[in-house]
Each structure stands twice: as structure tokens, then as C-alpha cells.
Amino acid sequence: MSILLTHAYHLYEDHKEQSIMRPYVPLGLLYISAYLNQYQVENFLYDSTFYSPEEQLSYISEKQPKVVAIYTNLMTKINVIKLIKILKSDARYGYPKIILGGPDITYNTSNYLHAGADVLVIGEGEQTTLELYLAIVQNTSLHLVNGIAFIENKEVIKTPPRTKIKDLSTLPLPNRAAVPIDKYLNIWKTYHGKSSMTVSTQRGCPYTCKWCSTAVYGQSYRRRPAHLVASELAMLKQAYQPDSIWFVDDVFTVSHKWLKNFHREVIKQDAIIPFECITRAERLNDEVLQLLKEIGCFRIWIGAESGSQKIIDAMDRRVDVDVVKSAIQKTNMLGMETGTFIMVGYPGEDEKDIKDTITYLKAANPTHFTITIAYPIKGTSLYSEIQDQITVQPNWETSTDRDIDFKRTYNRKFYTYAVKRIVNEVNFHKELLKGQHKNLWQSFKLKTKSILAYTGMKLYK
Ligand code: B12
Ligand code: SF4
């Protein structure tokens, strides 16, 4: 009897990731594996990141697990469904029960069950996976397990929601020994000269940005005690010597009290590792920035999503664009890198808003910025708002939420050009800021691309 935990992300298929090569371990699976270990439940973890679907299948065939449990997000969905269909139809794999978990299943319950999954674990996975696995092997009623969905007599049954884990200190550390950590660290070293690992200190986010998926942890805020996070860092430092850490938390500085404790603990436990984190501008101030810097923070991602207050408000982002701008500028001045996220094509956005975004990015001057064309994730308020304006809704099993399109202010192609316009115009400005060190040829290329993109915008407006 055993459970095999896996996912369906294969790096060799992800051409975008191959150009950046910043792979991270599937932390959710590692948490579940550690939890099962704590209860002496035999589990195998197959991290498919560096392997092909064929290699994954051959591993499943060799292990013949009773249960195959697969992590699912909106991008890996297509591969997950392919995997389910193979496991359901080929005797070589012993017809295991198939459990799915992760962020994409919460609001696509019926679809995943009809695609062949036996049971879905909704929300936080540790306790539910343990109880569900025991129910399967002991053949007891699934109705007694909270937080799951399954089909019975052709009907989708959802059991009462699982209570969120209140005290995160009860969780064991993620089972990093179950994945090829060296491969991850070596790829980082080879492509970036320094390695990086992830750590999670927080579950849930109390904010309500309309496009953001809160499908797993909900609108909650729970935090691991600062001294335990510091001990985890000390352990990582000793075991793997990572050059940096990415805290995968939604809003790292949401609690200043926690941050002060964490500051004290990492110093006390000699656990400082350079790190980057994501936070909100209004949860930063001079003191917080100083604390972050003192404990090794080298990069802060501060989201505004737009330079237009009108769009920020439409997103229910609850932040002032000038506060974001000033937070980025202050962080830059303290010698830490900054990053920001931009979304274009949000409902109601027009050309003036895009112009405001360019002006904002030029003034804030973050070290890095990423741009996404807005898409509606099932279960978000944005999805509910645009539901009756969907213009493109491809087959669910073979497409992702990113392929859904809805009625926007302009033609979809307008936004592809808008992204190019923002990138080139802002990077042109960055060249100018270099003063006498600027590269004239590079500046000329960027400005030309920016003008061409602007022409494209006008064409598709
Ligand atoms: C780190 C991260 C990334 C990293 C992933 C690195 C890695 N290998 O893990 C990177 C940067 C690569 C990334 C990319 C993307 N991400 Co991302 N990411 C996150 C983030 C910030 C943290 C994830 C994490 O580690 N959490 C901590 C762990 C412990 O939580 P967890 O994974 O949710 O696991 C728990 C449960 O889900 C469940 N569970 C997890 N796995 C399994 C498996 C089984 C079998 C079971 C039963 C249960 C179960 O139990 C776990 C413990 O309770 C989350 C936001 C968040 N706060 O969670 C977004 C998030 C997961 N990402 C999201 C998105 C949209 C993306 C992208 C599609 C973005 C894009 N480019 O458009 C891509 C997809 C990439 C891909 N091809 O898979 C969405 C997912 C929405 C959805 N419905 O799928 C999230 C929720 C962000 C959001 N709020 O909208 N992401
Ligand atoms: S975008 Fe960030 S702040 Fe907003 S709800 Fe999502 S995690 Fe929270």
C-alpha cells in the first residue's frame, strides 16, 4: 500500500522557463510528503520537473501505488488530464485511485471529476490527504473526510470544508530530501552564478485583489512563528548553503510585529541568507525597509499592477499609486533591488491608463518589471465580473484560463503591442538615466521598437 505524490510540470516542455532557468521545488507536495511521513504513511514523491511524461509513467508502473496524488494548477491542468486518462485506461499502472489537489481544482470541481479524477482535495492538503488516503486503504466512507469532492451515483458530492490549520507550527518542514535539490541548485549556479531556494512562512492573504486566486488558503492570514522560520533558514544554510532564498509568501511584511521578531531571531540563530520577497507598498516604511536590509533582503517585489489609480481601484487593490512609487524609490535608494508587476488589458483600461503606467514606471524606476495581459482565473471576482462578456472560451480540457478572452476596451492585439510599448519605452528611459554611460545604439533600438509598438496600438485601437 502506498501513495505516490507527483505533479505534471516538465521543464523541457516549458520554453519560457528554459530561457530563464529559475526552477523551484514543488513546495506543496513536499509539505504533504512530510506530513504523511509524520504519520508513518509510506509515500513516494516523483518530482517530474526534470523528467519526461514517459519517465514518470515508467516510475508509476514500477511502484504500482494504490493512490496517485497529483498537484494541479491552471497551467499544468492539460498535462494532468492527459496523465489521468493514461492511468485510467492502461493496466500497466494497476489502476490506482487518482487524487488531485492544488489551486486549480477548487472552482473546477465538476470538470476535473468528469475528466477522470476519483477524488479532489480542496484547499490545504496535509490533513485531508492523510485522512483520505486512510479512508481509501481502509475502505471507509469518503463522506467522513472533510474538504473533498467526488462523484457518487452520478452526482458531485462535496463534503464540508476542511478547517484551516490554525497553528502552522504543528506542520513539519517540507520534505526536501524527497526531491533532487542538487539539480535545482546546480541549474541556478550554472545560469545565474548563485543558487536559490524557496521558503514559505505564511498561509493566506487578507486582501481582495479581484484577479487573484485565493483558492487554497482563502482570505486568511496565518504565520509560522518567527523563531521556527529562522531555524529552517539555519538548517538550509547548513544542509544546502543556498546563495539566496525566495519567500513565496503573498505579503511578506504584512505584520510588522512578526517582522521584528524574525529580524531578532535570524540574527540570534546566525541564520541570515540573502533573500527576496513580495509585499505591498503600504506595508513598507523606513523602519521596515531598514529591518529588511539588515537581515539580507536584496530584492523586494512591490505590486501596483497599473500606474493608473482608476485601474488600481477597479482591481480593488487598495493602494495609492504614489505610495507604490515612493516605496520603490526608497527601496532603490537603500541599495536593494526592486521589482514590480504590471497587468494590462484589465476591464475598463484605456490608452490613457497605459500612458499613466509608462509614466509611473519611468518615475518609480524599479530594477525589474513583469507584464501580464489580464486573464480571468476561475473563482476570482474578476472572473465573475466578466463571465457574461467572454468572447473566447476554448475547450476546458485542452486549454488554460490564460486562453479565455473577454470583451476589452480594444482588440486583443492592441494589448500585445501595449506590452511591447511599455517594455521598450521604459527600458529606453532606463538607458537615458545612465547618462554618459548610456549605449546610443541600444537607446536607438529601444526607441524605434517603442514607436513601432505604438503604431501597432493605434492600428488595433
Ligand atoms: C511559488 C509560486 C510560483 C512559482 C512555482 C515554483 C514551484 N515549483 O512551486 C512560479 C514562479 C514558477 C509560478 C508560476 C506560475 N504560477 Co504561481 N504561485 C506561486 C505561489 C506564490 C506560491 C506557491 C507555493 O509554493 N505555496 C506554498 C505551498 C505550501 O502551497 P500550495 O502549493 O498551494 O500547496 C498546498 C495546497 O495547494 C495543497 N496541495 C498542493 N499540491 C498538492 C497535491 C496534491 C495531490 C494534493 C492532494 C494537495 C496539494 O496542499 C498544500 C499544502 O497545504 C502561489 C501563491 C500562493 N500563495 O500559494 C502562486 C500560484 C500557485 N500561482 C499561480 C499562477 C496563476 C501561476 C502561473 C500560471 C502564472 C503565469 N505565468 O501565468 C505560473 C504557472 C507555472 C506552471 N507552468 O506551472 C496561481 C494559481 C491559480 C490556479 N488556479 O492555478 C497562484 C495561486 C497565485 C494566485 N494567487 O493567483 N508560481
Ligand atoms: S494580489 Fe497579493 S495582496 Fe492582492 S489578494 Fe493576491 S496575494 Fe493578496
Condensed to tens digits (0 to 9), the pLDDT of residues 245-276 reads: 999 999 999 999 999 999 999 999 999 999 99
The rounded distance, in Å, linking the Cα atoms of 32 and 291 is 32
Between helix 321-333 and helix 286-294 the angle, nearest 10°, is 40
Report residue 24 CA to chain centroid gap. Answer: 11
Give 425 Cα–ligand 1 centroid separation in angstroms.
32
pLDDT higher than 90, residue 17: yes
Is the beta carbon of 27 within 6 A of some atom in ligand 1? yes
* Cβ proximity of 327 and 288 under 8 Å: no
Is the beta carbon of 203 within 6 A of some atom in ligand 2? no
* Cβ proximity of 169 and 225 under 8 Å: yes
Which protein residue's CA is at the shortest distance from atom 15 of ligand 1?
A: 75
Atom of ligand 2 nearest to the CA of 206: 8
Give 112 Cα–ligand 2 centroid separation in angstroms.
26
The per-residue pLDDT for 30 is 98
Give 24 Cα–ligand 2 centroid separation in angstroms.
21
Rounded mean pLDDT, 48-75: 98
Report residue 114 CA to chain centroid gap. Answer: 26
Strands (E), 7-73: 43-46, 67-71
Q: With cut-offs at 50, 70 and 90, classify the pLDDT of residue 143.
A: very high
CA distances from 244 to 103, 297, 389, 400 (A): 26, 9, 43, 32
**Angle at 60 (CA atoms; ends 56, 64), nearest 5 degrees:** 175
* Cβ proximity of 307 and 269 under 8 Å: no
Give 131 Cα–ligand 2 centroid separation in angstroms.
30
The per-residue pLDDT for 65 is 97
Q: With cut-offs at 50, 70 and 90, classify the pLDDT of residue 391.
A: very high
The rounded distance, in Å, linking the Cα atoms of 147 and 129 is 9
pLDDT higher than 90, residue 66: yes
Q: With cut-offs at 50, 70 and 90, classify the pLDDT of residue 58.
A: very high
Rounded mean pLDDT, 174-191: 98
Give 139 Cα–ligand 2 centroid separation in angstroms.
40
The rounded distance, in Å, linking the Cα atoms of 327 and 231 is 30
Q: With cut-offs at 50, 70 and 90, classify the pLDDT of residue 53.
A: very high
Q: With cut-offs at 50, 70 and 90, classify the pLDDT of residue 370.
A: very high
The per-residue pLDDT for 199 is 98
The per-residue pLDDT for 11 is 97
The per-residue pLDDT for 364 is 98
* Cβ proximity of 205 and 250 under 8 Å: yes
Nearest partner of 48 among 72, 16, 15, judged by Cα: 72
The ligand minimizing its distance to the Cα of 30 is 1
Q: Looking at the domain covering 3-158, what would its CATH class be? A: alpha beta
Give 140 Cα–ligand 2 centroid separation in angstroms.
39
The rounded distance, in Å, linking the Cα atoms of 216 and 204 is 8
Atom of ligand 2 nearest to the CA of 208: 5
Give 73 Cα–ligand 1 centroid separation in angstroms.
6
Is the beta carbon of 212 within 6 A of some atom in ligand 2? yes
Domains of the chain, residue spans: 3-158
Atom of ligand 2 nearest to the CA of 213: 6
The ligand minimizing its distance to the Cα of 379 is 1
Give 267 Cα–ligand 2 centroid separation in angstroms.
29
The per-residue pLDDT for 157 is 98
The per-residue pLDDT for 36 is 98
Report residue 222 CA to chain centroid gap. Answer: 18
SS3 per-residue string spanning the chain = CCEEEECCCCHHHCHHHHHHCCCCCCHHHHHHHHHHHHCCCCEEEECHHHCCHHHHHHHHHHHCCCEEEEECCCCCHHHHHHHHHHHHHCHHHCCCEEEEECCCCCCCHHHHHHCCCCEEECCCCHHHHHHHHHHHHHCCCHHHCCCEEEEECCEEEECCCCCCCCCHHHCCCCCHHHCCHHHHHHHHHHHHCCCEEEECCEECCCCCCCCCCCCCCCCCCEECCHHHHHHHHHHHHHHHCCCEEEECCCCCCCCHHHHHHHHHHHHHCCCCCCEEEEECHHHCCHHHHHHHHHCCEEEEEECCECCCHHHHHHCCCCCCHHHHHHHHHHHHHCCCEEEEEEEECCCCCCHHHHHHHHHHHHHHCCCEEEEEECCCCCCCHHHHHHHHHEEECCCHHHCCHHHCEECCCCCHHHHHHHHHHHHHHHHHHHHHHCHHHCCHHHHHHHHHHHHHHHHHHHHHC
Q: Which three cell numbers stand for residue 435?
A: 547618462
Q: Sort strands 368-373 and 390-392 into parallel, antiparallel or unpaired.
A: unpaired
Rounded mean pLDDT, 331-339: 98
User: Mean pLDDT for the chain?
Assistant: 97
Is the beta carbon of 207 within 6 A of some atom in ligand 2? yes
Is the beta carbon of 249 within 6 A of some atom in ligand 2? no
pLDDT higher than 90, residue 1: no
Q: With cut-offs at 50, 70 and 90, classify the pLDDT of residue 188.
A: very high
Is the beta carbon of 205 within 6 A of some atom in ligand 2? yes
Which protein residue's CA is at the shortest distance from atom 57 of ligand 1?
A: 250
The per-residue pLDDT for 276 is 98
The per-residue pLDDT for 150 is 98
More confident residue, 264 or 303: 264
- Burial call 331-351: b when 16+ CB within 10 Å, e when fewer: bbeeebebbbbbbbbbbebee
